Amino acid sequence: MYGGEAGGGKTDALLFAPLRWIGLKHFRGVLFRRTYPELEASLIERTREYYPALGGVYNGSDHVWRFPSGAKVWLKSLQHADSVFAHQTVEYQYAAFDELTHFESSQYRYILSRLRSSHGIPIRVRSGTNPDICWVKDRWAPWVDRSREYLDSGGPVAASGEVLWFKPNRDGGEEYVPKGTPGCLSRQFIRSGRRDTPQLSPDYELQLLQQDAVQRARLMDGDWEAVRAAGKYFKRDWLDSCRRDEVPKDARFVRQWDRAATERSEKSTDPDWTAGVLMARKGAHYWIVDIQRFRSTPAVVEEKMLACAKADGRNVTIGLSQDPGQAGKDQAQRMVRAFSGWKISSRVESGDKVSRFSPFSVQAEHHNVTRVSGAWNDAFNYELEAFPSKAHDDQVDAVSGGFRYLTTTSDGGMGTESLGLL
């Protein structure tokens, strides 16, 4: 395993490694990315730079490099869990996983079963990755896990580059054993970082600095203990306060809604809220101007949203989050008709909630967001600070959607995913 921070030349290390055996007729290697678009943008593109100089000829239909000796190196994706079964009858002597944390443990283990020594060629598995909390951390715990729980367990602790030996058992587990134990295998982790790749542009580090706190810790510091926990994505003291009349009148405004349609009852004592955040942007600064929250039936929710739109005025765009699928599209169309006369932006959200909130989190942490003082502040601060650990994240989703609108549409524009201006 090679990794630990962003940069470090991990991908190049993986695609260079099999070249030591391409002079052997029977050598078979494979390089994996999780999806084909990732494969095409990274491994395929990079191998085109290096492999032809060594006599490699690429077959785009089979995604395989053939070398003059007869050696072959495939470039493959494993998008679905069962994609590994396409390799059922293949024997490899080299397998590499680029961004290993993107793969499932079952996929990794299955490919290991396809590795077999042929004609005296040694077996090698190589992987590159950045830190994440998943099965990868557990598998390489001696090198990367410095949590109190692991250290107290008495498990082995290894330095970067140190080789440990382990022996699998029939239960699917394993134990670390002394070198030379019959039936044992070796494992190693080599830490990499940005300084290992001096040709990286200085702008690369600036891009990493713009990530949220958790991603910065992982990508810049190689911190495997950085977790998505409450307080990591928002702190109330990141925002300055102002009065409503201090928000620039020539700013761009959007009232973004995260809708729910369930009122409190004996069966549903703590339902989701409908939350509407009024946000503004001028230049590189943002304002959280107002929050409206309520719980009620679908008809009452729509009435309250319409009343809010009338109070905000026609210069405020109404932002709606659209659920995927035909039902979400139909609901969005009904809402657009209900708000005839207003600018409407309805978008299908993609990605997990943390990923959608992170761009706002970064701007808030750098004090580029101001919050208007109001009675809604306490509930707003509490929910955003508790994210992603608490049950309710309606205001979080509304903020994410509003920020996305303000950063992906131009003045007077509606964005490519909007339903139109009615």
Say how far apart CA 419 and CA 422 lie, in whole Å: 9
383-409 pLDDT per residue, tens: 898 887 666 789 999 999 999 999 988
Name the domain count of the chain: 2
Q: Are residues 189 and 249 in the same domain?
A: no
Q: Which of 237-251, 325-339, 348-362 has the highest mean pLDDT?
A: 237-251
CATH of residue 241: 3.30.420.240
Q: Is the pLDDT of residue 269 over 70?
A: no
Structural domain contains residue 227: no
Structural domain contains residue 225: no
Q: Are residues 45 and 161 in the same domain?
A: yes
Phi-psi region of 420 (alpha: psi -120 to 50; beta: other; left: phi over 0): left
Q: Are residues 149 and 37 in the same domain?
A: yes
Q: Is the pLDDT of residue 6 over 60?
A: no
Q: Are residues 75 and 188 in the same domain?
A: yes
Give first-to-last CA distance, the chain, whole Å.
Answer: 55
Q: Of 347, 238, 328, 320, nearest to 286 (Cα)?
A: 238
Structural domain contains residue 387: yes
Say how far apart CA 265 and CA 300 lie, in whole Å: 16
What pLDDT sits at residue 420?
Answer: 32
Q: Of 332, 329, 343, nearest to 254 (Cα)?
A: 343
- Which of 196, 214, 249 is a domain's end point? 196
Structural domain contains residue 211: no
Say how far apart CA 164 and CA 176 lie, in whole Å: 7
What pLDDT sits at residue 336?
Answer: 79
At what angle are helices 377-386 and 394-408 packed, to 10 degrees? 90
Say how far apart CA 232 and CA 235 lie, in whole Å: 8
**What pTM was computed for the model?**
0.52
Q: Are residues 189 and 256 in the same domain?
A: no
Structural domain contains residue 216: no
Structural domain contains residue 210: no
Q: Are residues 159 and 62 in the same domain?
A: yes
Mean pLDDT of the chain: 83
Q: Is the pLDDT of residue 197 over 80?
A: no
- Which of 142, 176, 196 is a domain's end point? 196
Q: Is the pLDDT of residue 191 over 90?
A: no
The one-letter amino acid code at 315 reads: N
CATH of residue 45: 3.40.50.300
Q: Is the pLDDT of residue 15 over 90?
A: yes
90-138 pLDDT per residue, tens: 999 999 999 998 898 899 999 999 999 888 899 999 998 877 767 888 8
Q: Are residues 247 and 386 in the same domain?
A: yes
Cα-Cα-Cα-Cα dihedral sign, residues 314, 320, 325, 330: negative
Q: Are residues 296 and 180 in the same domain?
A: no
For residue 118, the 8-state DSSP code is: B
What pLDDT sits at residue 418?
Answer: 33
Q: Which of 1-10, 36-45, 203-212, 399-408 has the highest mean pLDDT?
A: 399-408
Burial of 405 (0-12, 13-18, 19+ CB in 10 A): buried
Q: Are residues 251 and 150 in the same domain?
A: no
Q: Are residues 111 and 240 in the same domain?
A: no
Q: Are residues 164 and 252 in the same domain?
A: no
Structural domain contains residue 201: no
Contacts of 205 (CB under 8 A, 6+ apart): 194, 220
Boundaries of domain holding 360? 236-421
Structural domain contains residue 224: no
Render 352-377 in DSSP notation, one character per residue: -HHHHHHHHHHHHHTT-EEEE--TTH
What pLDDT sits at residue 414?
Answer: 35
CB atoms near residue 346 (< 10 Å) = 22
Length of the chain: 422
Phi-psi region of 172 (alpha: psi -120 to 50; beta: other; left: phi over 0): left
Mean pLDDT of all residues in 21-36: 95
| Site of tokens 């598998």 | 139
Q: Are residues 157 and 267 in the same domain?
A: no
